[in-house]
Amino acid sequence: MPILIVILVIVGVILIPCVKVVPQAKSYVVERLGSYYTTWSNGLHFKLPFIDRVASVVSLKEIVKDFAPQPVITKDNVTMQIDTVVYFQITDPKLYTYGVEYPISAIENLTATTLRNLIGELELDQTLTSRDIINSKMRSILDEATDPWGIKVTRVEVKNILPPRDIQEAMEKQMRAERERREKILQAEGEKKSSILIAEGEKESAILRAEADKEAKIKRAEGEAEALLKLRQAEAEGMKLIKEAKADDAVLKLKSYETLSKLADGQSTKIILPADLSNIASFGTVLKESMKEKK
C-alpha cells in the first residue's frame, strides 16, 4: 500500500506539470527533443514528460516601447536629440522565438539607425515640420525589416525633437519677430480699413446732403410753381365769372380804375395809358382823385 501511494505521487508529480492551460492572447512555443515541435494557442494542452518542453511564452498583445533619445545630425549639420515610440505586435511566435536574439533590443537599434538615415537627408526646418513623413517612412522600413522576426510594426511616432540650446534661442527670437511682424500687419490693415470706412462715410454723407439740398430745391420750385398756377387759375376763374355775369363796360372800367388806383398807391415811376385814347381826360381825372385821396 505505501508503495502504491509513492507510485501515484511520483506519477502525479511527473504528469501534472505536463498539463498546460494557455490563456487568451498568449502562445506557447513547444520543442520536442530540442527541436521546434508546435505552437500552442489558448486552451488545454498536454506535453510528453522529459521529451517536450515549452521553449517560450509569447504575448500576442500590441506592445509599446518608448526608446531613449538618440543623437542625430541633420543635413545642415545640426545635432539634435530625438526619441521615438514604436508600436508593434508579434504575429508569428515561432519566428519571434528563433528569428533574432533579443528582439526588443534589435528593434531599438534598428529604430535608431533608421532615424539617423532619415534625418540625415533633411535640414533642420524640414525635420521640425515633417514629423508625419518621418513617422510614415520609419514605420514602412521597420515593418519590412522585422518581418523575418515575426513582428508587425503598426505605428511609429517621433515623440520629441530637441535642438541645441542656441538653436532654440534663435528659433524663439525668430518666432517673436514673426509675431511682432504679424501684429504690425494686422494693425496697419485695421487702420487702413478704418480710414476707408471713414472716407466712405464722409462720401455717403456728402452725397446724402447734396441729394437733400436737391430735393429741397425741387420741392421749393414745385411749391412756387404750384402757387403761381393756382394764382393764375384763380384769376382765370374770376374772369370767367365776370364774363358769365355779362358785366357791362362800366363795370369793367370800374375794375380797371381800381387796378390803377392800386398801382398809383406805390412808388412806381411807370406811366400807364389806357388803350382808348379818347378816354385820356377821364383817366387823368381819376388819377388826380386817387392822388388826392392818398394825400
Per-residue confidence in pLDDT tens, the chain, 295 aa: 677 777 777 777 777 878 888 999 899 999 998 899 999 998 899 888 888 889 999 999 999 999 888 888 888 888 888 889 999 999 999 999 998 888 889 999 999 999 999 998 888 888 888 888 999 999 999 999 999 999 999 999 998 888 888 777 777 787 788 888 888 898 888 888 888 888 888 888 888 888 888 888 888 888 888 888 888 787 777 777 766 665 555 555 555 555 555 555 555 445 455 555 445 445 455 444 544 554 4
Those residues with Cβ within 8 angstroms of residue 13's Cβ, 6 or more apart along the chain or in another chain: none
At 250 the pLDDT is: 54
Those residues with Cβ within 8 angstroms of residue 31's Cβ, 6 or more apart along the chain or in another chain: 37, 52, 53, 54, 55
At 242 the pLDDT is: 66
Pairing of strands 151-162, 26-32: unpaired
Model pTM? 0.56
At 92 the pLDDT is: 92
| Angle (deg, nearest 10), helices 280-294 and 249-264 | 50
User: 36 by DSSP, 3-state: which?
Assistant: strand
At 58 the pLDDT is: 92
At 224 the pLDDT is: 84
Q: Which three cell numbers stand for residue 9?
A: 505521487
**By 3-state DSSP, what share of the chain in percent is helix, strand and coil, each rounded to 5?**
60, 20, 20
Pairing of strands 70-73, 79-90: antiparallel
Helical ranges in 130-164 per DSSP H: 131-146
